[in-house]
Amino acid sequence: MKKLRSIKTYIVGRLHPHSYLSPELITLLTVHMIFLLGVGLSNTFVNVFLWKVQKSLSIVALYNAVQYFTLIAVVILGGWIAKKISLTFNLRLGIMCHAIFFIVLLVVKDQAAQYAWILGLLMGLSSGLYYLSYNVLSYDFSSNDNRDYVMGVQGIVFSFTTAVAPFMAGIMIESFKKINGYIIVFSISFTLFMIAAVLSTRIPIKTAQKNYYIKSILFMPFRRKDWKYAMIGEAIRGLRDGVMIFLPGILLYSLVSRESLIGYYTLFCSSVQLLSYYFISKRITPGTRKNFLLVGVLAIVIISPLFMFSLNAYTLFVYGLVTSFFVAWVNNPTAGMIYWVIHKTPNSKKRRIEGIVVREAYLNMGRTLGVLILLALPEDIKTIAYIVFGLGLSQIMIWMFFNRINMA
């Protein structure tokens, strides 16, 4: 029976190479969906929770800056662990560390702001271990033929979970008094991480060549032009990404003080993003990546001055609509091109983990810098509007660098 399934898998893969998902990839995506439900239920509201305790954007920015900075070190360490043990062990360890994060959050409760840097360290550790392994496994379970389609499916999974989970969490939080709703939501997230950890045992164990070539890959951007363009572009993408992951939710809550409206906002934005990922997964090919990327960055640049005219719930929804649709046109092509650059590297099969490590390191350098810029400037509305505009304007440089990558 197992042999028949293998034959069927082979035939389907040969007939539909551009839109094929292997059984291993389907299992990985299932685990990832449950994991994202746990993250989606709580992560948006971790930032709101920290802001609510101290009414300070700086404490939220500190939490995120520590998280991104920790990620840089953790992905390097995680690459070593993945090489010496296995990618699946790393993935499971990342899920378990997420569970520990929420145990700590449940213990400190309304004292969370005092431990923002510790929470940032824990989240950076958890995310670094998990996403390094997830990205390498996604690379292993796909090929250049179907990678754009796989990126689209991943985007659909991400958009679905980030639409449903925060919406449900917002309603639950608002239905209970004080911080009880937060405690319930964080407890549900913990349970989902436990389920994801158990299901991850069904993912085939992926071991790697034991030697860790981190030095040679870490300095690859200084030796190879395509690596240089890809990593600079990825760092620039991180500049905006690091801030805009949490800023819209904080701004909306500061205006309306309703968690349920943040849930509606996330549902709205993620639904738009889901449609965009579905659209792009059906149309993008290796030859059209740069065209989609150009349209995506131009749309983000055009919408970025919006808050300079007015910052209210309406303009936040308009901004969310446009950026949610077109961010897929940035993330999907850049991921595909980075995987292509890694694939073209000599001995790429032996050094693919190191390639993903460097990608994550540069992305999180950009994220850290973006949040530090936010921390260094005043917290008034006018300054925030200029920050959003500046970060949006910087995104045109993503296309300028990725456009120079040789895709032949």
pLDDT digit string, tens, across residues 5-57: 443 343 334 434 556 788 899 999 999 999 999 988 877 678 888 888 778 88
Contacts of 10 (CB under 8 A, 6+ apart): none
Decide which of 333 and 178 is more confident. 333
| 3-state DSSP assignment of residue 179 | coil
Which among 168, 162, 71 is positioned nearest to 121, based on CA atoms?
71
pTM: 0.86
Give the pLDDT confidence score for residue 15 in this predicted structure: 37
Domain boundaries, the chain: 22-200+214-402
Alpha-helical runs (H) found in 245-379: 247-256, 259-283, 289-303, 306-309, 313-344, 348-376
pLDDT-derived band at 352 (thresholds 50, 70, 90) equals confident
DSSP state of 204: P
Give the pLDDT confidence score for residue 12 in this predicted structure: 39
Please identify, in words, the CATH class of the domain defined by 22-200+214-402. mainly alpha
Decide which of 111 and 193 is more confident. 193
299 close to 367: Cβ distance less than 8 angstroms: no
The residue behind tokens 């937060």 is: 182
Q: What single letter denotes the amino acid at residue 68?
A: Y
Q: Which long-range contacts link 21-26 to residues 24+ away (Cβ below 8 Å)?
A: 21/146, 21/150, 21/153, 22/141, 22/142, 24/141, 24/203, 24/204, 25/138, 25/141, 25/142, 25/150
Give the pLDDT mean for 288-300.
96
pLDDT digit string, tens, across residues 100-134: 988 888 788 778 888 889 999 999 999 999 999 99
Decide which of 4 and 22 is more confident. 22
